[in-house]
Amino acid sequence: MTDALPILYHDEHLVAVHKPADMLVHRSALARGERHFLVQTLRDQIGQHVYPVHRLDRPTSGLVVFALDSRTASTLGDDFAAHRVGKRYLAVVRGHGPEHECLDYALRDEDGRRPKAEMPARAARTAITRLDDVELPVRVDRYPSARYSLMEARPLTGRRHQIRRHLSRRGYPIIGDAKHGKSVHNRFFAEQLDCPRLLLAAVGLDFTHPVHGQPIQLGCALDARMTSLFQRFGWSGHLPANRRGNAPATTVTSPS
C-alpha cells in the first residue's frame, strides 16, 4: 500500500503535495509495469478528481500542484505555460558551481518518438546560484579529493529535463542523473552516502491563485535522504521547510 502523500496546501480549488522521488505523475506509454502514480494516489487519498497543471520528472521530488476543477486547471495551466509561475529547485552537483549565472542554451525537444536531432531547438533559460559547497577527502574520480556544490535553480522557461540538461552542459551535472551525469559519482553517493537517487528537488512555487487572485507562495521540505545528506555536508542552514504564505519563498534554517 502506498504511503499517504504529504499535503502542503488544500482549498476548494487547489491541492499541492510533496511528490516522492521515482514516482510518475501520471500514466504514460513509458510506464509499463508501474502501479503507483501521483494523480491516482492523490485522487484516492482526498476522494475527488484532480487535474494536473504541470509535472515533475519521475526521479525529481518535491512540490506539485493540482487543480480540483477543469476551469481552475485551464487558468493555472495557462500561467505555467506563460512562465508566470516562479519555481525554485535545489540540486547537488559535481564540482564548484558558478556563484551566479543565467544559463541560456536552446534545448531540443525530447518526446521519445523521433531522433532528438530532428526535433526543434527552443529557447531555454535557467538562473542558477551556488549556495554552498563541500570538498571530501576521498578519491572518487581521478583527483585525490571530490568537490560538490549545492545549487539553487530557477527555470525561466519550461523545457523537458531543462535543469538537468543545462547544468550538465555547463559542466556541473546533478548527482544521481543517470542520463546526463557521471556514473562514478552517482555510484559513490548511492553506495557510500545512502543517496541512490537524483539529487534534484522542487522546493518552491510562487503564483497567483487562479480563482481568488491572491499571491500563493509554497515551500516544500526535502525528503529524509536529502535532509540527511545536507546535515552531513554542513548545509543544514539551507534546508527548506514546508510553508505557505504571502512572503516570497526563501531558504530557511531547519528547526532543531
Catalytically active residues, by annotation: 57
- How remote is the C-alpha of 92 from its chain's centroid? 11
| Cα three-residue angle 82-153-230, rounded to 5 degrees | 145
219: which strand partners?
Answer: 204, 243
Beta-bridged to residue 61, according to DSSP, are: 201
What b/e sequence results for 127-161 when a residue is b if at least 16 CB atoms lie within 10 Å of its CB, and e otherwise?
Answer: ebebbbbeeeeeebeeeeebebbbbbbbbbebbbe
Contacts (Cβ under 8 Å, ≥6 apart) of 149:
92, 93, 95, 96, 97, 130, 132, 133, 134, 172
Residue carrying the nine cell digits 542554451: 105
Query: CA 59, CA 93: separation in Å to the nearest integer?
Result: 15
Which phi and psi angles does 240 have, rounded to 5°? -80, 165
Cβ distance 54 to 14 under 8 Å? no
